[in-house]
Amino acid sequence: MTHKAKKVVIITEKLILDQVLKIVEAAGATGYTVTSAGGKGSRNVRSEARTTVVEAFSNVKIEVIVGDATAAERIATEVADTCFGNYSGVTYLQDVEILRPHKFTRTS
């Protein structure tokens, strides 16, 4: 049997990873996953070579699973408001089904 939960995905510059993770942890998330990523956003200069942009891998993709949509939306909004004025980034939510809901709730 599975339980519904929300995943917040944040893709942004590696430079501000620590700042983003502080927001994620302050919101009560019990864990997160980070992968190295390259890419192009709506703000990138068009003339830049495609492979150069991708191969720099100067972005990070952060994934956080939280129990409910409200917490997920709060993290996404706070990261966007705090960080995406000065740094490029994108954030979105996805539905997920988890096996053990207690792992995603802080018990302190």
Residues of this chain that bind a copy of itself (CB under 8 A): 2, 5, 7, 9, 11, 17-18, 21-22, 30-42, 44, 50-51, 54, 57, 59, 61, 65, 73, 76-77, 80, 90-100, 103-104
Residue 97 half-sphere exposure, CB side, CA atoms within 13 Å? 3
β-strands 3-13, 59-66 pairing? antiparallel
**Closer by beta carbon to a copy of itself, 71 or else 91:** 91
Query: Min. distance of Cβ 47 from a copy of itself in angstroms?
Result: 13
Least Å distance, CB 11 to a copy of itself, is: 5
Rounded to 5°, the CA angle 19-31-77 comes to: 50
Q: What are phi and psi of 34, to 5 degrees?
A: -125, 130
